[in-house]
Amino acid sequence: MSNIVVIGTQWGDEGKGKVVDVLATKAHVVVRFQGGNNAGHTMVVDGKAFISHLIPSGILHKDKVCVIGNGVVVDPGVLIQEMKHLQDNGISVEPHNLYISENTHVIMPYHKLIDHGRERMKGDRKLGTTGRGIGPCYEDKVTRRGIRFCDLIDPEVFEEKLSLILHEKNFYLKNFLKSKTVDEASILEEYLPYAEVLRPHVTNISVLIDQAVKAGHDILFEGAQGTHLDIDHGTYPFVTSSNTVAGNACCGTGIGPTQIHGVVGMVKAYTTRVGRGPFPTELHDEIGDLIQERGAEFGATTGRRRRCGWLDTVLVRNAARINGLTGLAITKLDVLSGLKTLKIATAYQYKQDRLTEFPSALKVLEACEPIYEELPGWSDDITAVQDVDDLPENARAYVKRVEELVETPVQIISVGPGRKQTIVLQDPYDRS
């Protein structure tokens, strides 16, 4: 029995959906432990793309149990739409294979209005939030005034809690954000039917996962976004509103840290970032445009163009330490094919200092210039390669150098979006 956590090491969009989909073949239970529908995991099966925003990527496998943890915040309308889309495409989404923690917090209409209102008021200083109410929902969770799924499925409790908070929310919306308000009746009319649809899926997932552990089942934990969007460890304030790091797999699901046996860190073969925030290796030239075009670098959730740059191992080393990585999964290696010279940032130059550790202060990070190491590229199309030994010599050297710089073994290499375009060097579930 092995329990593995998959996290992003950069700013998200590293290809977690595909690798979770591949690793789900070994797991019995697949658990999402944080985030909301501000993130999207893209999986390509038999040439068809599926984008999951809330439901764990393992849902594409018929015999898997999928769980939405208490660390996630859920817009019930979005979840039901996602369930319906999957069902319309012949994928089973039933109470026996999709569970929702009774402690998961519910995104309400006023959360989304607050999100949009705050961004509008900030003008040029906006953070670039997706406007889906994620942050305001987590905010209510922390201030102990949120609505959980166990509240949602109890009409009496739901109405009572909604009534208590709505006066405050409408006052804030109207008088501070100069936004429209919401009324209790319309929310009840919308959300009570949601509760009836989702009620059969709601349970105590801590108990469910514990039972799976005791039964000797393998469990796969997946997060959203990446380490450097973590509320504590990311490029604050240009971060998400939850803990994206591996440690939150325990808090976000209700299991102990002794039940985690490995952490796989997702590393895109280059670096991307959506929205605002510092990005030392960002490219503002034709190579950046080429990577963006070849990699189809648009957000799966927002459709926003991703900023692109060279691989930054200062960033990835930081993630390796914070998450206690036991292995790396390198994705989109194929995108770099055809480039004559590749660059990897190994340190930063800050004024007179050479920095080898990722700085927390944005003022420092914004002033950092990457120190690059150059490696020769390769011209071969590698999208059909099935064995690491069949990769071009320079591609193997690139992977090896990443492994050396991050001081973490590469376990998986992805050379395309499809399931079969995956080279497994070491199975993360193999503890021998």
DSSP string, 251-293: HTTT--GGG--EEEEEEESSEEE-SSS--TTB--SHHHHHHHH
Q: Are residues 272 and 253 in the same domain?
A: no
Residue 126 has pLDDT above 70, yes or no: no
Q: Are residues 222 and 364 in the same domain?
A: no
Where are the extended beta strands (E) located within 310-432? 311-312, 327-331, 341-350, 353-355, 369-376, 410-414, 422-424
Q: Are residues 212 and 91 in the same domain?
A: yes
Q: Give the mean model confidence (pLDDT) for residues 381-404.
A: 97
Cα separation values, 259 from 56, 210, 316, 430, Å? 20, 9, 25, 15
Q: Final residue of a domain: which of 259, 280, 305?
A: 259
pLDDT for position 302? 64
- Across the chain, mean pLDDT equals 93
Structure tokens at 98: 């999709």
Does 430 fall in a domain? no
Q: Final residue of a domain: which of 160, 177, 198?
A: 198
Q: What is the pTM of this model?
A: 0.93
Q: Are residues 81 and 214 in the same domain?
A: yes
What are the pLDDT digits (tens) for 313-331? 999 999 999 999 999 999 9
Q: What percent of the chain is modeled with pLDDT above 90?
A: 83
Give Cα 413 to chain centroid, integer Å: 19
| Rg for the chain, CA atoms, rounded | 22
Which residue range is the domain that position 48 belongs to? Answer: 3-102+201-259
- Residue labelled with tokens 């039964």: 215
Q: Are residues 339 and 417 in the same domain?
A: yes
Residue 407 has pLDDT above 70, yes or no: yes
What are the pLDDT digits (tens) for 184-222? 999 999 999 999 999 999 999 999 999 999 999 999 999
Residue 41 has pLDDT above 70, yes or no: no
pLDDT for position 61? 87
Confidence of residue 43 (pLDDT cuts 50, 70, 90): low
Q: Are residues 206 and 77 in the same domain?
A: yes
Residue 300 has pLDDT above 80, yes or no: no
Does 431 fall in a domain? no
Least confident residue range of 42-46, 120-124, 283-287, 353-357? 42-46
pLDDT for position 57? 82
Does 189 fall in a domain? yes
Q: Give the mean model confidence (pLDDT) for residues 388-413.
A: 98
Q: Give the mean model confidence (pLDDT) for residues 123-133.
A: 70
Residue 47 has pLDDT above 80, yes or no: no
Q: Are residues 253 and 270 in the same domain?
A: no
CATH number (domain holding residue 148): 1.10.300.10
Does 177 fall in a domain? yes
Q: Are residues 320 and 411 in the same domain?
A: yes
pLDDT for position 305? 87
Q: Are residues 225 and 98 in the same domain?
A: yes
Contacts 24+ apart (CB under 8 A), 296-305: 297/13, 297/272, 299/13, 299/40, 299/274, 300/13, 300/17, 300/39, 300/40, 300/41, 300/42, 300/51, 301/37, 301/38, 301/39, 301/40, 301/51, 301/53, 301/130, 302/130, 302/274, 304/274, 304/275
What are the pLDDT digits (tens) for 322-374? 999 999 999 999 999 999 999 999 999 999 999 999 999 999 999 999 999 99
Number of domains in the chain: 3
Q: H/E/C letters for each residue in 62-100?
A: CCCEEEECCCEEECHHHHHHHHHHHHHCCCCCCCCCEEE
Does 169 fall in a domain? yes
Confidence of residue 389 (pLDDT cuts 50, 70, 90): very high
Q: Are residues 91 and 225 in the same domain?
A: yes
What are the pLDDT digits (tens) for 149-170? 999 999 999 999 999 999 999 9
Q: Are residues 138 and 74 in the same domain?
A: no
Does the annotation mark 13 as catalytic? yes
Q: Is 185 helix (H, G, I), strand (E, B) or coil?
A: helix
Closest CA to 191 of 248, 134, 153: 153
Least confident residue range of 14-18, 64-68, 213-217? 14-18
Does 365 fall in a domain? yes
Does 63 fall in a domain? yes
DSSP state of 53: S
Q: Give the mean model confidence (pLDDT) for residues 62-87.
A: 94
Confidence of residue 432 (pLDDT cuts 50, 70, 90): low
- Residue labelled with tokens 């039972």: 211
Strands 327-331 and 262-268: parallel
Given the residues 21, 41, 105, 312, select the one marked as catalytic. 41
Residue 225 has pLDDT above 90, yes or no: yes
Q: Final residue of a domain: which of 198, 218, 249?
A: 198
Does 432 fall in a domain? no
Q: Are residues 186 and 308 in the same domain?
A: no
Confidence of residue 62 (pLDDT cuts 50, 70, 90): confident
CATH number (domain holding residue 305): 3.90.170.10
CATH number (domain holding residue 94): 3.40.440.10
